[in-house]
């Protein structure tokens, strides 16, 4: 989307009709430019009403992310973050990975976060696409610098899942569960996902870019593109949560969890993660990276975050793979 599109949408955010002439005059562009800027918005899950003689109108306001509002919600933790809010980005993870490669350190010790209103090339685990529309969710990435090597960061995605579960609980959202190793579900439909990418040496230090995508209110257009069961917070609680407040709460809890993880690894989060796991003590099928399949009953996780499975041949641990519920005859 063009920068002009975001400028027009912000003018329309009051819910009133605005003529093309008025919009063009306010932005110093032609009426044709305004019309072109509003083409194809249905592809990002947004509808703009156009009525002859009255102009353009948004059916409802867009909850824009606002840096100042988010920092106010963070209160004393605000100074911890270097927060960037972008109108659009292909991938917040890719952007932070590029920044990490150019910066040896953050200098002031701040935690760099990039959030975007619209992510056009979001990625999930194992190369999957993450679909989102304009203003219908939270898509952001956080950069954390560990002194440890990547081999000592096992279980990091599970610890991040605990942080998300805690925040959802604090917002009164009950019934969400975690799925090993990096999904948040409601009624076994995907609500949020985690993608962690690492840069560094085996012995450290290591840069971790932690990407999170959460569905707040998906349009039918976006839902149609998702190739797995998906849900959003609007469907769960019957209203749109405050995006700025929710993002601030997630950032604050993530920092709390990452500080503890840096000191003690995954072990302190293990019991809590198992409590949130929606597949605990259930029969599952594990699709392993080498293409093989293992069936069994989930029996907790190890201190390194590996999945423990009770199978006909005994207990086994898996550090990679995709699990699905298995129907029991």
Which position among 123, 179, 190, 270 bears the catalytic label?
A: 190
Please state, in angstroms and as integers, the Cα–Cα distance from residue 284 to each residue in 180, 197, 311, following that order: 11, 27, 10
The tokens for 223 are: 């839902």
Neighbours of 243 (CB within 10 A): 24
The tokens for 92 are: 């917040």
Which position among 82, 223, 245, 326 bears the catalytic label?
A: 326
Neighbours of 66 (CB within 10 A): 12
The tokens for 151 are: 């081999």
- Residue 270 a catalytic site member: no
Q: Which one, of 322, 316, 172, 296, lies nearest residue 237 by Cα?
A: 172
Which position among 31, 125, 223, 245 bears the catalytic label?
A: 125
- Residue 125 a catalytic site member: yes
Task: Provide the edge-to-edge strand list for the sheet that holds 307-311.
Answer: 314-318, 307-311, 293-301, 283-287, 322-325
Instruction: Give the list of residues 6+ apart from residue 149 with CB closer than 8 angstroms, or none.
Output: 200, 201, 202, 203, 204, 206
Instruction: Give the list of residues 6+ apart from residue 232 with CB closer than 8 angstroms, or none.
Output: 136, 137, 191, 215, 216, 217, 218
Whole-angstrom Cα distance, residue 297 to residue 300? 9
- Residue 259 a catalytic site member: no
What are the catalytic residues? 125, 190, 326
């Amino acid at each position: 989307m063009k920068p002009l599109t975001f400028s027009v949408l912000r003018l329309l955010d009051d819910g009133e009709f605005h003529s093309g002439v008025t919009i063009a005059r306010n932005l110093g562009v032609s009426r044709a430019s305004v019309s072109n800027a509003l083409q194809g918005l249905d592809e990002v899950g947004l509808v703009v009403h156009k009525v002859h003689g009255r102009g353009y109108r948004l059916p409802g306001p867009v909850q824009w992310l606002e840096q100042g509002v988010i920092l106010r919600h963070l209160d004393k933790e605000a100074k911890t973050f270097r927060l960037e809010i972008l109108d659009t980005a292909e991938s917040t993870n890719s952007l932070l990975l590029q920044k990490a490669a150019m910066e040896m350190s953050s200098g002031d010790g701040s935690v760099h976060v990039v959030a975007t209103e619209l992510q056009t090339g979001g990625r999930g685990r194992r190369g999957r696409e993450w679909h989102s529309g304009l203003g219908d969710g939270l898509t952001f990435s956080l950069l954390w610098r560990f002194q440890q090597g990547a081999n000592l960061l096992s279980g990091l995605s599970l610890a991040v899942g605990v942080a998300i579960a805690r925040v959802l609980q604090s917002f009164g959202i009950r019934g969400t569960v975690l799925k090993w190793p990096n999904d948040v579900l409601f009624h076994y439909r995907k609500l949020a996902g985690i993608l962690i990418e690492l840069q560094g040496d085996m012995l450290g230090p290591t840069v971790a870019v932690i990407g999170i995508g959460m569905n707040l209110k998906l349009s039918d257009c976006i839902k149609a593109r998702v190739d797995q069961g998906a849900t959003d917070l609007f469907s769960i609680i019957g209203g749109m949560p405050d995006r700025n407040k929710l993002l601030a709460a997630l950032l604050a809890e993530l920092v709390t969890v990452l500080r503890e993880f840096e000191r003690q690894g995954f072990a302190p989060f293990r019991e809590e993660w198992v409590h949130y796991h929606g597949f605990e003590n259930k029969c599952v099928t594990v699709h392993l990276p080498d293409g093989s399949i293992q069936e069994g009953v989930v029996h907790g996780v190890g201190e390194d975050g590996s999945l423990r499975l009770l199978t006909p041949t005994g207990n086994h641990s898996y550090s990679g793979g995709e699990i699905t519920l298995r129907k029991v005859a």
